[in-house]
Structure 1
Amino acid sequence: MMKKLFLLILISLGTSATYSQGKSKEKEAPKDYSENVLTINSTINTLYATISGEKGKKRDWALFKYLFHPDGKLITSGKNDESKFQIRYMKPDDYIKSSGKWIVDNGFIEKEVHRTVDAFGNIAHVFSTFESFHSKTDEEPFMRGINSIQLLNDGTRWWIVNVFWDNENRRNPIPRNYLPK
């Protein structure tokens, strides 16, 4: 009788442990990010917010990816080893793989300092001048440039179709009309 009771208790504990482990492994319901893409302004502000943070701060990569159209790309331009200009196309996952660890390890805060918006129908083009810092306490940016952002409104939300950017350098200063007044 005692063996049966002991065996019953073990089975009961095992079933209870298995049930609670299964519950903890269930996925959380996906977050509702729809408010982040209702306007051009909210979409662009969210783009900057998702990549920005102090050293060690985790980024919300799910929200970052949510901003982009399924065919959306990030496109960087610059010189290759032969000093010829080239571009590199990345899907959001490629950007996360190539830059995600670096921006968390080093701190990366990108601030928009000027914006121009041209829109027609369901498309928009945003020229967004940025400054990049490692920390909010930095007084001078370590990099500046312009993001050329193309967006599409599908009647429900804004999608980022492309982010195409170039960084400022001595030979390529940011024109005054794209700087704060």
Structure 2
Amino acid sequence: MRCLQKGLVIWLTGLSGSGKTTISNIVKDLIKKDGIRVEILDGDWFRQNIDPEAGFTKEERKKHLIRVANVAKLLARNGIVTICSFVSPYEDIRNEIKNIIREEAKFFLIYTKCEIEECIKRDPKGLYKKALKGEIKNFTGIDDPYEEPKEYDLLLDTVRNSVEYNVEKLYSFIKEKINEIEKA
């Protein structure tokens, strides 16, 4: 496995159940097959292993996501393709994340678009069911807003397009960015 001269951060944002983790894991395997170092920072894993006290208010999310951004920046500046899969629901915090990472690495925001109704139908972790019953507070899309990105580098519509299509779209995008880095 080789590291790039300079890594990059691919930041997937979208509602819970929009497909961020599914797409990220498949793309990670494809990049690994290309012999390139790649890591995934996923919301569930990061909260469980790195930031277990992280809460869900806007201020707590901000602190949490700033930690994630700094870890992603560290990985990327060491030549690792870093895929981050986080709801990251607020536009101002996403902009702050972008600024932190761009100090030392390339940053690309990927919007995994999926309507709330579809996310509720999918509900892979049963979280929407709990949030709708009032068992979970500050749940994005139910009693806390998700601010759709005003600007993004790539849109993955996970309602209108298949997982395979979105994987290929993201993988091709990342390969293009890797090629640009290697030619620089």
What TM-score results when the alignment is normalised by the length of structure 2?
A: 0.24
What TM-score results when the alignment is normalised by the length of structure 1?
A: 0.24
Q: Highest Rg: 1 or 2?
A: 1
Quick check: which one's helix share is greater?
2
Quick check: which one's strand share is greater?
1
